Amino acid sequence: MENEVYQRILSESNKKKLEKTLSSAEDLAAKSIGYPCNFAFDYSELLPFFSYSFNNLGDPFNSSNYRLNTLDYEREVIDFFADLTDMPVDERWGYVTNGGTEGNLYGLFLARETLPEAIVYYSEDTHYSIGKALRLLNMRCIMLRHQKNGEVDYEDLKESVKIHRDLPAIVLATAGTTMTGAVDNIKIIREILKENLISDFYIHVDAALSGMILPFVEDPQPWNFSDGADSISISGHKFIGAPVPCGVVLAKKSNRDRVARSIEYVGALDTTLTGSRNGLSPLMLWYAINRDGKVGFARKVKYCLGVADYALNALNKCGIPAWRNKNSNTIVFPKPSCDVLEKWDIAVYRDIAHIITMPSTKHKQVDALVNDLLDYPA
């Protein structure tokens, strides 16, 4: 028939290939202890939505001609994260991204459009995506030294800013550095800029992981909008957990207006980096937020930091010099042997390694890793 869709059945060999991948995924997840992935999630109630092509075209706070979308869910997600980050009500704006890299790229894009003559200052411990974003945007930049704990070297920032005090400044701060979980104090950063009489500056915060931890601890380091951030990127698939990479970027509406363009074809306001955007990710984040709420997330943060303390004590008790930063679920220790690295997914950089305790991390995983570190010394 003319309108009949031709369908083929997947071959037995391909079915077995899928089964093998699924079987190995369970084993790999059990050994993935060095990367910020939370495997404790369940979105099975959302499976019926996978039968439709949800596409969030354009600005989430406007409409589009493509009505099969989840923009209303996306707006609720942004409101939730805006509350977590103390974002001013009259400046609230953002969208759900494909992950932290897109969020950082967008933050730098807005910063460049706001201050086109500015120099970007960023630490050598910032995420690897920052260097790529700076090349893509062709932004003039200076890499700063870091402190031993991974925090930016404020003295180096002070000296660098002093040399270029005639130009506006864009600072890329990190709330939870990749290897050590350090948090750059943006109050100190703002003080340094003001001391050098720099009135035109923009601060973007990469809070990929710690953006879901700092709102729920008693004494967080200065990192959010009330502390002086202009935009913030937070991952969704890390602490919250999701089967696909996702996240949010929060930016001030007044800065967003600088890049907004009206697109007649889709009847939408174009304010994001991509045209078509995944409409399922906002749905998953909305589901997790309404399932767990702030109380549930607070409990998960407490659990993660408790397991981090447990891991730190277990490593130190066995003579392995381990440490962690304040409010961090990242435990740093010397780079282990090849035997351990072949068995476990552990992140390493030069002579150090780390594990990251997530909501899905179990005490027995920590115990098993510590035993292997003792059985196969570096």
Q: How far is CA 301 from the centre of its chain?
A: 16
Cα–Cα distance measured from residue 54 to residue 59, given in angstroms and rounded to the nearest whole number: 15
Rg value, the chain, Cα: 22
DSSP string, 228-247: T-SEEEEESIIIII-SS--E
The secondary structure element, H or E, covering residue 84 is: helix 71-84
Query: Is residue 330 helix, strand or coil?
Result: strand
Q: Identify any residues that bridge with 121 across adjacent strands, giving them in sequence order.
A: 142, 171
**Residue 72, CB half-sphere, CA atoms under 13 Å: how many?**
2
Residues 77 and 92: beta-carbon distance below 8 Å: no
- For residue 199 the two structure tokens come to 């009135």
Cα–Cα distance measured from residue 370 to residue 375, given in angstroms and rounded to the nearest whole number: 9
Which position among 129, 231, 233, 328 bears the catalytic label? 328
235 is catalytic: no
Label residue 170 exposed, middle or buried (CB < 10 Å: 0-12, 13-18, 19+). Answer: buried
* Active-site residue set: 328
